[in-house]
Structure 1
Amino acid sequence: MGASYHQFCPVAKAMELLDERWTMLVIRELVAGSRHFNELRRGLPRMSPTLLSKRLQQLVAAGVVQRRPEGSEVQYLLTPAGRELEPIVLALGAWGVRWIGKIGDQDLDPKLLLWDMHRSVDRARVPAGRTVVEFGFDGVAPQLRRWWLVITPDDVDVCDSDPGHPVDVLVGCRLRTLVEIWMGNLGWSDAVRAGSLDLAGPRVLCQDLPTWFSSTFASVPRPASTASMQAV
């Protein structure tokens, strides 16, 4: 628990727990479906394992998260108190989309982007069998340049090394372009028409690929003032 505000106000009491660095992002990951420590780390790639352990311990002690042993592993699950935070997390994200300015270069992270995309795949819309989508990002470090999503009827894997399967669709762009698409600031077809996004593969797969993904915040309506801020 963070330092006390010494106020009886329930907002102050809630924030004594929730406003410590990374805490709400840990809850965001649990809301998004992460259950194991390594899954949480992949959704929080810049958070140290030591700090993640500490925040989980604090959330367990506060009754927001349940630590459940599962064989040789441990699951972290939101309690009823934790699940009540889901609409707050979603409202914060929607507010951020509507009112926070443009995304800085330091915010662009292919690890987080592909992790978020992989858990948002609508597998019912993807062709039966195994479908492999390769992403190639221009202008990033070589070790971060190529990523793969391997989609099967039962699972979606995100890989940062070649999984060895034939690629069905190749997506080529700058990292910023795909982040802007994922956040709803740019349309897939608009990016293709502008030449900032290349799709290579069978025509029907390239046409359908945008429908395979469902970004949580892409559909949030933008006030005109936000659109002008992001265009600056």
Structure 2
Amino acid sequence: MPRQQPPTRPVRRRSYDQFCAAARALDSVGDRWTLLIVRELLAGPRRYTDLHADLPGVSTDVLASRLKDMEQSGLAVRRRLPPPAAASVYELTEHGRGLLPVLSALARWGTPALAERRPTDAVRAHWFALPLLRALDGTEHAGVVEVRLEEGEFHIRTGGDTQGDDAYGYGPAPYPDARIVLDAELCLALGRGELTLAEAVAEGRAEVHGEGPLAAELRGG
């Protein structure tokens, strides 16, 4: 009779084992790559292959492990898209979307380190959504703004309450309320509060297109 193997215990994730809110948070998001995966999923549901493509340097094993950890922590879920897509995507839960202000604050703290782009630096257009969201915080009129950079396009939501919605997204928006054309350096300067978008438009450093109230507000009208 074959010897019966003892039941396998679930692997316990590493913990700081400290009764501290910051330590508990780092138990969930303190591992390398986790917050950058959150950054990607804040733009909306993504397939595993798309995540891997926009996270240069992460191995397939590490990405799969982090996604599994995020599911176990209630930060993300995996779901199957209906036909004809027939693909699985990962998306943030409401708990996971609550990390937006954390990422925004972290990006603001790290902005001084972007004084010079290194030859080895990867770049994606939507990575500039965080400083631009910060720059447009407090916009009176709510809507979707399409942003065009030399590096590509993305779109963001401004004004009002975006709870439950994606704060930003990949590529052009289907029906934007305004379009902004600018460069990455100006995005960072706006995020640092060095000038407003209306001032950048007046100086000829940015263009705002659109006829509605949101476009007019962004132009400073």
Q: Deviations over 1:75-124 (max 9, x none)?
A: 32444xxx335445414523653x55624133893523467679x9x995
Matches within 5 A, 1:80-91: 83-91=94-102
Q: What is the letter of the counterpart of residue 19 of structure 2? A: C
Q: Which residue number in structure 2 is paired with residue 76 of structure 1?
A: 90
Q: 1:25 to 1:181 in 2, by over 3 A?
A: same
| Equivalent residue in structure 1 for 2:105, among 87, 94, 102 | 94
Query: Is contact 1:149-1:157 (8 Å) kept?
Result: yes
Provide the residue aligned with 2:58 in structure 1: 48
- 1:9 equivalent among 7, 15, 19: 19
Read off the aligned partner of 1:58 and give its amino acid letter: D
Alignment correspondent of 2:70? 59
* Partner AA of 1:190 in structure 2: E
Distance 2:79 2:72 in 1: 13
Q: What's the offset of the Cα at 1:209?
A: 7.2
Alpha-carbon offset, residue 17 of structure 1: 3.0
Q: Matches of residues 204-215 of structure 1 in structure 2 within 5 Å?
A: 208=215, 211=218
Q: Is the 8 A contact 1:148 1:158 kept in 2?
A: yes
Please name the residue that 1:171 is paired with: 181
Residue identity matched to 1:208: A
Aligned 8 A contact 2:126 2:153 in 1: no
Give a deviation string over 1:1-51, Cα, whole Å, max 9, x none. Answer: 76443x342543442332011212323443x24212256457x44353613
Distance of aligned partners of 1:74 and 1:125 in 2 relative to their CA distance in 1, 3 Å threshold? closer
AA in 1 matched with 2:105? A
Partners of 1:183 and 1:49 in 2: CA distance: 33
Long gaps (5+) in structure 2: 1-11, 156-168, 173-177
For the 8 Å contact 1:133–1:170, the answer to whether it is kept is yes
Change (3 A) 1:201 1:85: closer
Paired residue secondary structure (1:16)? helix
| TM-score, normalisation: structure 2 | 0.52
Contact 1:34 1:40 in 2 (8 A): no
Name the Cα RMSD after superposition: 4.6
Q: Does the aligned pair in 1 maintain the 2:147–2:180 contact within 8 Å?
A: yes
Distance 1:52 1:185, change over 3 A: farther
Q: Which residue of 2 aligns with 1:158?
A: 171
Report the Cα distance in structure 1 between the residues aligned to 2:98 and 2:18, rounded to whole angstroms: 24
Q: Following TM superposition, by how much is the alpha carbon of 1:178 offset from its aligned partner in structure 2, in angstroms?
A: 2.7
Name the structure with the higher helix share: 1
Identical columns (%): 20
Query: What amino acid maps onto 2:104 in structure 1?
Result: G
Find the aligned partners of 2:111 and 2:148 in 1 and give their Cα distance.
30
State the alpha-carbon separation in 1 of the partners of residues 37 and 189 from structure 2.
Answer: 23
Change (3 A) 1:108 1:179: farther
Q: Structure 2 CA distance, aligned partners of 1:208 and 1:17?
A: 39
Contact 2:74/2:95 (CA < 8 Å) preserved in 1?
A: no
